[in-house]
């Protein structure tokens, strides 16, 4: 959805975000967290005198700001319909974990992880012990997709030790 938002905001001047550029952007967000720069102005991270040299070496500050402005994870076309009932419609799909039907199912942890890893192959998925304590079946399903999942199994789950 991000590239379509960029075209909407910048008309013909908006160039599409390439995969490597997006990865660099995410990396800079993570690095900003590592540097504990919460509340620090974006420009100060790129400042040549007292900023951090890695930021301008990855991408210009204007590119970073452009991506930040057009970053969008929902479908703007469908948002107004959802917003009538929900003021958080733009981000709600990310947080609820519910299916489109709205019906809450069983094995939510497994379903959420399988949904989030759909389309991935050969990666390592890291999650909280909530997802691994009771979900040995989840680990086996992910392994079939060539995904690994490190985690702890609580000692009261004796069925796995036999």
Cα–Cα separations (whole angstroms), residue 124 to 45, 51, 117, 127, 149: 30, 33, 10, 10, 6
Which band of pLDDT confidence, cut at 50, 70 and 90, is reported for residue 148?
Answer: confident
Reported pTM: 0.49
| Domain boundary assignment for the chain | 2-70, 102-160
Q: Find the range with the poorest average confidence among 11-25, 34-48, 87-101, 129-143.
A: 87-101
**DSSP secondary structure code for residue 148 in this structure:** B
pLDDT of residue 4: 56
* 58: its two tokens: 């990855």
Q: Where are the beta strands (DSSP E) in 4-93?
A: none
Q: How far does CA 104 lie from the centroid of its chain? A: 22
Mean pLDDT of 86-114: 69
In the chain, what's the furthest Cα-to-Cα distance?
63
């Amino acid at each position: 959805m991000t590239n379509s938002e960029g075209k909407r905001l910048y008309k013909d001047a908006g160039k599409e975000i390439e995969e490597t550029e997006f990865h660099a952007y995410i990396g800079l967000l993570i690095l900003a967290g590592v540097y504990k720069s919460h509340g620090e102005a974006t420009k100060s991270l790129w400042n040549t005198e007292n900023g951090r040299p890695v930021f301008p070496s990855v991408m210009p500050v204007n590119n970073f700001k452009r991506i930040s402005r057009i970053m969008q994870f929902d479908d703007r076309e469908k948002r107004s319909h959802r917003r009538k009932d929900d003021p958080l419609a733009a981000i709600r799909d990310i947080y609820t974990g519910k299916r489109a039907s709205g019906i809450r199912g069983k094995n939510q942890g497994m379903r959420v992880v399988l949904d989030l890893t759909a389309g991935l192959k050969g990666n390592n998925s890291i999650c909280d012990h909530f997802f691994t304590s009771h979900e040995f079946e989840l680990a086996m399903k992910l392994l079939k997709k060539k995904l690994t999942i490190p985690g702890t199994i609580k000692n009261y789950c004796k069925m796995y030790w036999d």
